[in-house]
A and B are shown apart, each in its own frame.
Chain A
Amino acid sequence: MIQHVENPVLEIHDLTVTYNKKPVLWGIDLTLPAGSLVGIIGPNGAGKSTLIKSVMGLVPSGSGYVRVFDKTLDESRGRISYVPQRESVDWDFPASALDIVLMGRYGKLGLFKRPRKADYEVAEDCLRKVGMEGFKNRQISQLSGGQQQRVFLARALAQEADLYFMDEPFAGVDASTEKAIIQLLREMTQKGKTVIVVHHDLQSATKYFNWIILLNMRLVASGPVETAFTEALLQETYGGKLTLLSDVSDLVQKNQFPSREK
């Protein structure tokens, strides 16, 4: 069940990703409509994070291409934002919450330019949107997990992008933060922004998203939540791990095979 759309925000064409020579994603082919709130869902090790990292060019792809707003990735950098997993950085870094949010402005500022007054105002406004205005001068290690996640979100907001990638933004956050974040994401998509979220929890998936991508090393489904989030497809994603596929992956890695004949 893979539904394609006209004028996609994001087009992934036949994307294959290898990790240490081991194929982790096979031939992903999908398109996403503007203004959707997309959930990428699949079991552990399905390659959910790898998919978005590869789309953003953080992980090299073996084959295929990605087009964002019908342009190449590098032409669209200014319109893309990223919320990495919270554990991916060292929170003991000497910086305040406001310092981190200001980093969201760096792409717009360009090299060598210092943040201007307007950038500070945008950053503070973004902190307010995530309910963290009272913590702007707090050292980031003294924030709770949920607060740190909010700071990351504020940093992405400060970028004023059109396409957002978020890697497990609900992992390890308190219930009120989760509620605040999803509320914010909905408002963003209502304004025509597209948000793609790597998500772990099946329970909340139908409530949160209007577009679902089911992933388990290969693309199982991509479409509106009503058509893509069905029991049969979930069964295929979670129950039916293709043993043969992972065996071949292991074999490719063991023999150091190239992922494509050149």
Chain B
Amino acid sequence: MESFIEFFSFTNPNVRYVTLGCILLSVSSAVVGSFTFLKKRALVGDAVAHSVLPGVCLAFILSGTKNPVYLIIGAFITAWISLLFIDLVTKRSKIKEDTAISITLSVFFGLGIMLLTMIQHSGNASQSGLDSFLFGKAAALIGTDLYVFGGVAFILLFVVGLFFKEFTLIAFDTHFAQVIGLPVKRIEFVLTTLTVLAVVVGIQAVGVVLMAAMLITPPAAARFWTDSLRKMLVIAACLGAFAGLSGAYISYIAPSMPTGPWIVMVISFIAVLSFLLAPQKGILFKWLKQRKIRQTILEENILKAFFLLGEREKNFYQTLGIERILEKRHFPLGALKKTLPILRFQGYLKKVGNEWQLTQAGFHKGQRVVKLHRLWELYLTEYLHIAPDHVHDDAETIEHIISPEIEKQLEKKLNYPTLDPHQSEIPYR
């Protein structure tokens, strides 16, 4: 708790720098990455991330310093060459894009590792720390470096804001953008430049190897929570900020823990949670919905059994024991025993001693299900010309889903029939 307060009071300037740096980098790569994600260019983002390494190393060899401005320029150049290389290979050879991307990624990364090893063995005293580009070193985000990277992050957000409309259209429908006269090539150049810049600043925190996660995971997680692009950008930025903050905090309380990989872990964990828990699209939501549907079907089937038994014995309000219900229709015993009290609670059944009896509401509900079943059977035989002995199974499912509006249409279309295809009476209320 003490360290929690210490961290979040931000009295230590180092903590302040590192945290602010992590948040800025995560937010800007999440926002730029949203468009990479929507354009389905996630793999290209990964290739770009790996391709900045040789540029960084070359810039260091040529300039002899770790001045971030030089490193950014170097990274920028090789990242662009890699993109052109992917384009060239895809256009000029039979090699498909995915192959071109993975070839480019490994060639550039291999070159980078080679240069890095050379630098490390050159005995240059100022080289120490250059290897942090591999996995990132957020703790080194201090002083002037932070100003440079913070500045770049702000520029990224500003330009995305400026081009929001154009980026959206191009991500959705490039051809249309071209036809209405948008300078598509130039706008794509801007977007790619932003991606490269986001990668260049982002690798400070997480390194080239993990950079793709910073671009792609926040928008992928955010997409689960909204159908609006604006909201998606905001959510992706917030998730990125949270991950950046968490990474900084974790490495603060446990100094042996690396910041960058923790940022990636946190954002990935959020993505998995979104996948499981998001409304509408999440797995849990879908599972709960399925379970609710199954329960509804079970409840309606029990009431239907009561109605059918009542129809046979000409007494809808007779009391029935569990055995009698099971005679009419097989239900799993446990589910039946659990659902009967639920139906009583809902007001559809009464308990009389050890037996059960329909209430008036329960009678109407059972009657409606039977009516829908028989109407649907009739519809299938009359309009789809399906044989009467083939319509029962279909009606068993459809009877639970027909809405009151469709019910009215069905009655009207069939002209309020009295008998179903098996000559059973269709019960109207």
Contacts and interface: CB of A to CB of B under 8 A. Distances in A.
A58 interface: yes
Nearest to A103: B169
Given A106-B169, A112-B163, A84 B176 contact: yes
Contacts of B226: 94
A95 interface: yes
Nearest to A74: B181
Interface of B: 38, 40, 162-163, 165-166, 168-169, 171-173, 175-183, 223, 226-229, 232
Contacts of B169: 103, 106
A81 B166 contact: no
A139 B165 CA distance: 18
Contacts of B166: 106, 111
Given A111-B166, A112-B163, A94 B232 contact: yes
Contact of A56 (B38, B165, B168, B179): B179
A96 interface: yes
B228 A58 contact: no
Contacts of A80: 179-180
20 contacts: A56-B178, A57-B179, A58-B179, A77-B180, A82-B176, A82-B179, A84-B176, A89-B173, A90-B40, A90-B172, A94-B38, A96-B228, A103-B169, A103-B173, A104-B180, A106-B177, A106-B180, A112-B162, A113-B165, A115-B165
Interface of A: 53, 56-58, 74, 77-78, 80-82, 84, 88-90, 93-96, 99-100, 103-104, 106-107, 109, 111-115, 139, 155, 159, 165
A139 B281 CA distance: 13
* Residue of A53, A74, A112 ringed by the most chain B CB atoms within 10 A: A112
Contact of A82 (B168, B175, B183): B175
Contacts of B163: 111-112
Given A93-B229, A114-B165, 7 more contacts: A84-B175, A94-B223, A99-B229, A103-B172, A106-B166, A107-B180, A111-B183
- Most chain B CB inside 10 Å of its own CB: which residue of A88, A90, A106, A112: A106
A94 B176 contact: no
A82 B180 CA distance: 8
